[in-house]
Amino acid sequence: MIDFINNIETYEDWDRFVQMFMIKFPERKKEFRTDSGIKIKRLYRPEDIKDVNYKEDIGYPSVPPFVRGVYPTMHRGRFWTQRLIAGTGTPEDTNERLKFLISQGQTGLNVIYDLPSHRGIDPDDPRAKGEIGKDGVNCCCLKDQRAIFKDIDYKNYSVSQITAIHVLAMYIAMAELDGVEISKLRGTVQSDMFNAIQGCGALASDITRRGKGAIDYAVDICVDIIEFCTKFMPKWYPISIVGRNIREAGADAVSEIALAFSNGLAFIDKAIERGLNIDEFGERLSFMFCCENDFFEEIAKFRAARKVWHRLMKEKGAKNPLAMVVRMHVQNSSIAYTAQQPLNNIIRGTLHTTAAVLGGAQSLHTNAYDEAWGLPTKKAARIALRTQQIIAEESRVMNTIDPLAGSYYIEWLTKELEEKIYNMVKEMQEKGGSVKLTENGWIASILEENAYKYQKEIQDEERIVVGVNKYTLEDEELDIEIHEISEEVTEHQIERVKKVRAERDELEWRKAMTELKKACDAKEKDPSVNIMRPLIEAYKAGATLGECYDTIWSDYRFIG
């Protein structure tokens, strides 16, 4: 054996030795694959990346094709934005949580809204019963938005709003009434309506049940935001094109990015149709991706995504390099977290966060360990934030840029993912694009098939989940605090919306709502009509979310 080892000079020699070794010590599996199904070889060598050209396929940070990052110094210059989600109960509750996170060193704000707020339902609407403040903060009027940011110098923070046009309109209304120049506001609004359909099942029927043309109309509304922000809010990202929730709905690493990019192209096509310049609005497009368990595949996925988007934007005619950049916020996987042995989720979150950092994320949310049980407690949120801070301050993993570049495996896997993602995007474009494929159910079928496969692998123990199908505890007792939302939240929000309606100037409100209705009617005939300004003025006049939502969608009534 020793003589054999000493005489190994070639790969073929080594492989013969391995085959002999495996007779007594076989590998754990017959084959190894990434979570997206890519077959992994035992060993990667220079031959595996012989077709990889350094300049064209890898390059330098901030230089096309951006594989190694979007800024010249990346995290050597400054850490990523540490942006944990905050959104719970009443606006006052969320204000308290935001202040707590700021006190703990958080560098960006990230507000998530509850289901009624996403669906355009006021808290006193019977459809909101049982949902108010449960999975985010309830916000139905300008007064709510003010309460969320009370005593917070929001103009000096990058603020992410995980919702669409209405909350952005409230935020702008608040800033203008406060005398803040909106051109100086920094932040992002999610506003990706494909995310609502493809990634958030509870929201899907709100659009799809409105009949033919509703999805196209929703895309036009998103382009209103892009147009408005491009003209008046140059520091604001008017859309966050979401792959993350699509991943949670069943996508794998390949389809997560491909679906997000196909959706992004739908917005771009609409914006170009409207006469917007891709080299201008392209600079302010952002993305939200997931980070799952397959450590190296996730890192390679982020690297590949930057290259594919650069390629797609060039094909769309972009000339400005800054319009070809993937600026990404990453939230780690929720479905990877378990209700069983919940403290194990701290380790999962650490792995996900580290992979996102090594993959070059600009902004990060790390889920709290109690994610599988509900909204995070303060303790759980603090540990999630500390996870990022320890990686940033103690791990040294970002002392050099893109440290895994040059790894035979990473470069091979990046190339594999790039090709698969690009080919899937092109396939979707050939089939008619995201609007058509959302309407005809093609995308839903892909997600459903993948979600079923994922769950079956867990049930068959092909996919091990510690604490669920292996290393379980008998008679496990829950030893963590659960964040509860009281019924007082509902009462508080119902009382507020009724008070807003009672105290507003009726004439000013009617005038503003009439102007909004005129704009929406005009938009039905001419999609280039922008409804942002009348919507902002409506919220200034005391309009509620439900009133504005119903006005915008008045020509698309539910059909089933």
DSSP symbols for 404-437: TTT-HHHHHHHHHHHHHHHHHHHHHHHTTHHHHH
CA angle 190–193–196, rounded 5-degree value = 90
For CA atoms 188, 192, 198, 200, the dihedral sign is positive
Tens of pLDDT along 47-103?
A: 999 999 999 999 999 999 999 999 999 999 999 999 999 999 999 999 999 999 999
pLDDT band at 7 (very low <50, low <70, confident <90, very high): confident
Does 558 score more than 90 pLDDT?
A: no
Distance in Å from the first CA to the final CA of the chain: 73
- Rounded Cα distance between 213 and 372, Å, is 37
Average confidence (pLDDT) over 453-470 = 96
Could you report the per-residue pLDDT of 308-340, keeping only the tens digit for each? 999 999 999 999 999 999 999 999 999 999 999
In this structure, what token pair is assigned to residue 445?
Answer: 């079928």
pLDDT in tens, 237-284: 999 999 999 999 999 999 999 999 999 999 999 999 999 999 999 999
Count of C-beta atoms within a 10 Å radius of residue 104 = 15
Average pLDDT value for residue range 170-181:
98
**pLDDT for residue 3 is more than 90:** no
Report how far residue 436's alpha carbon sits from residue 424's, in angstroms, rounded to the nearest whole number: 15
pLDDT (0 to 100) of residue 560:
34
Residue 524 binned pLDDT confidence (cut-offs 50, 70, 90): confident
pLDDT-derived band at 163 (thresholds 50, 70, 90) equals: confident
Residue 38 pLDDT exceeds 70: yes
Q: Does the pLDDT value for residue 429 go beyond 50?
A: yes
E strand or H helix that includes residue 100: helix 91-103
- 336-376: pLDDT as tens digits: 999 999 999 999 999 999 999 999 999 999 999 999 999 99
The strand pair at 39-40 and 32-33 is best described as antiparallel
Q: Which two tokens stand for residue 50?
A: 């012989």
Phi, psi of 264 (to 5 degrees): -60, -40
- What angle do the packed helices 91-103 and 378-394 form, to 10 degrees? 30
Is residue 203 predicted with pLDDT exceeding 90?
A: no
42-72+200-485: CATH number? 3.20.20.240
Strand extents, DSSP E, 151-284: 158-162, 186-189, 236-237, 239-242
8-state DSSP, 183? G
Least confident window among 210-214, 377-381, 413-417, 497-501: 210-214
Average pLDDT, the chain: 95
At 484 the pLDDT is: 87
Q: Which pLDDT belongs to residue 365?
A: 97
pTM here is: 0.95
Q: Report, as an integer, the average pLDDT of 548-552.
A: 95
Q: Is 272 exposed, middle or buried (0-12, 13-18, 19+ CB in 10 A)?
A: middle
Report pLDDT digits (tens) over 94-150.
Answer: 999 999 999 999 999 999 999 999 999 999 999 999 999 999 999 999 999 999 999
Q: What pLDDT digit, counting tens, does each position of 374-423 carry?
A: 999 999 999 999 999 999 999 999 999 999 999 999 999 999 999 999 99
